[in-house]
């Protein structure tokens, strides 16, 4: 049983669909669900392919590289575990593997100098006993 009193930031709770994603992250690999019929990547994972409704889905490693799709600066102290981190920026990154394959990421600090289209890469952040894929903007 986890001692939640020691958790300082919200951490994900894996389920049957997301466990392969989190297991790969623990190994330092960004792996996303991919339909074996139409080859469409999807995130978050689902029971069926959102493109063709196929059910043959597997997790496959992706490059972890992409472009900044958009971002938002958070100023309110309303998210538990992030109160002392404001302002911080949330990034939405479009991965190179496929158009509109988007992942959300946390970034310390403000959005100074960010521009849509900037190159990004994944890195793996250890939070508590959990490994979180995060993205950084390349300069």
75-102: per-residue pLDDT in tens? 888 777 778 888 889 999 999 999 999 9
Which residue do the tokens 């190994």 mark?
27
Q: What is the mean pLDDT of the chain?
A: 90
Tokens of 46: 């689902």
- Provide the 8-state DSSP code for 60: E
The answer to whether 128 touches 8, Cβ cutoff 8 Å, is yes
9 phi, psi to nearest 5 deg:
-135, 150
Which residue do the tokens 């998210």 mark?
79
Rounded to two decimals, what is the model's pTM? 0.88
Kindly report, residue by residue over 16-34, the tens digit of the pLDDT. Answer: 999 999 999 999 999 999 9
The answer to whether 37 touches 54, Cβ cutoff 8 Å, is yes
Alpha carbon distances (Å) from 139 to 8, 30, 108: 30, 22, 15
Cβ-in-10-Å burial (0-12, 13-18, 19+) of 137 comes to: buried
């Amino acid at each position: 049983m986890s001692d939640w009193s020691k958790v300082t930031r919200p951490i994900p709770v894996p389920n049957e669909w997301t466990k392969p994603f989190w297991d790969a992250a623990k190994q330092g690999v960004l792996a996303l669900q991919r339909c074996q019929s139409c080859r469409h990547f999807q995130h978050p994972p689902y029971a069926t392919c959102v493109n063709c409704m196929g059910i043959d889905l597997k997790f496959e490693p992706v490059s972890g590289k992409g472009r900044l799709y958009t971002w938002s600066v958070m100023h309110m102290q309303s998210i538990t575990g992030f109160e002392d981190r404001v302002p911080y920026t949330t990034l939405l990154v479009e991965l190179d593997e496929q158009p509109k394959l988007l992942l959300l990421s946390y970034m310390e600090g403000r959005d100074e100098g960010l521009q849509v289209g900037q190159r990004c890469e994944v890195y793996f952040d250890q939070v508590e006993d959990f490994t979180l894929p995060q993205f950084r903007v390349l300069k």
